[in-house]
């Protein structure tokens, strides 16, 4: 089995792959998310920032690109997975994954994920970890992309 190297992992507002030439278009690279939150409302609902995971509304894409050490000699099954890692180094839940049978004759693949919602625990430095696995579950390569999460105070809701 060929070895695998990660060429890039990046977060963006949108990622598209051209069907004809297989090239990615990456629009608006994300290095920071800023969320308006109402700390009093969270406290009222017994949600403790820094202790509990919460899901915040965010639409984003994760683009990944992988290079094989040689062209695939036959169709080969791979599983691609991404996870969000919080400032304490904790993995937040189980991230999305895509199983694919890649065709013989290729030595590079781009795998993109479109995601709604971002799990967070607190403000700080996060990363998205991308990993490729063989059919037997063995990890072949892993890479991370750093980003920040910042909170700004939102006004109290009427009610």
38: helix, strand or coil: coil
Domain that holds residue 136: 4-153
Q: How are strands ordered across the β-sheet holding 32-37? A: 32-37, 139-153, 124-134, 76-85, 97-102
Tell me which residue of 121, 103, 101, 15 sits closest to 65, measured CA to CA. Answer: 15
Whether 81 maps to a domain, the answer reads yes
Given a contact cutoff of 8 angstroms between Cβ atoms, the answer to whether 81 and 130 are in contact is yes
Whether 120 maps to a domain, the answer reads yes
Whether 158 maps to a domain, the answer reads no
Given a contact cutoff of 8 angstroms between Cβ atoms, the answer to whether 17 and 65 are in contact is no
Whether 107 maps to a domain, the answer reads yes
| Predicted pLDDT at 159 | 45
Whether 15 maps to a domain, the answer reads yes
Token couple for 65: 């690109």
Whether 134 maps to a domain, the answer reads yes
d(CA 12, CA 61): 5
Q: Domain tally for the chain?
A: 1
Whether 105 maps to a domain, the answer reads yes
CATH, residue 67: 2.60.40.3880
pTM of the model: 0.87
For residue 111, list its beta bridge partners: 64
Whether 159 maps to a domain, the answer reads no
| Predicted pLDDT at 157 | 54
pLDDT tens, N- to C-terminus, the chain (159 residues): 789 999 999 999 999 888 888 788 899 999 999 998 887 787 788 877 777 888 899 999 999 999 999 999 999 999 999 999 999 999 998 889 999 999 999 999 999 999 999 999 999 999 999 999 999 999 999 999 999 999 988 665 544
d(CA 50, CA 48): 6
């Amino acid at each position: 089995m060929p070895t695998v190297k990660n060429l890039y992992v990046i977060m963006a507002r949108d990622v598209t792959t051209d069907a004809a030439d297989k090239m990615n278009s990456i629009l608006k690279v994300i290095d920071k998310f800023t969320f308006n939150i109402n700390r009093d409302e969270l406290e009222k609902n017994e949600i403790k920032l820094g202790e509990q995971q919460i899901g915040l509304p965010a639409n984003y894409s994760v683009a990944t690109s992988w290079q094989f050490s040689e062209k695939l000699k036959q169709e080969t099954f791979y599983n691609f997975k991404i996870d969000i890692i919080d400032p304490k180094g904790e993995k937040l839940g189980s991230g999305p994954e895509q199983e694919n049978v890649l065709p013989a004759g290729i030595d590079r693949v781009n795998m993109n994920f479109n995601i709604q919602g971002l799990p967070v625990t607190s403000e700080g430095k996060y990363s998205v970890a991308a990993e490729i696995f063989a059919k037997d579950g063995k990890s072949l390569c892993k890479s991370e992309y750093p980003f920040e999460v910042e909170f700004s105070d939102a006004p109290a809701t009427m009610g």
